[in-house]
Amino acid sequence: MTAVYIVIEVLAALGLILLVLLHSGKGGGLSDMFGGSVGSAAQGSTVVEKNLDRITVAVALIFAFATITLDLRLQ
């Protein structure tokens, strides 16, 4: 059963990395250096961004619960 939690943990971690990288830059960082701010002024807060935020929070919660569960099972 621990192997299932480890697989969930790894998949959630990889998904969280991907989702964080999909977020648009807010300015002043590496995204500005590579031209990320060119279209961000016209986009605003769209439905896609809100859904991406919700999915990111859900995956972060799955990651957190998997981490806590693994910690409790391995003690």
CB 19 within 8 A of CB 73: no
CB 18 within 8 A of CB 69: no
- pTM flag (> 0.85): no
The DSSP result for 18-32, as a single string, is: HHHHHSPP-SSSHHH
Q: Tens digit of pLDDT for each residue in 8-60?
A: 999 999 999 999 999 877 665 555 556 655 555 555 568 888 999 999 999 99
Rounded Cα–Cα distance for residues 75 and 70 (Å): 9
Between CA 31 and CA 36 the distance in angstroms is 5
Q: What is the pLDDT of residues 11-21, one digit of tens each?
A: 999 999 999 99
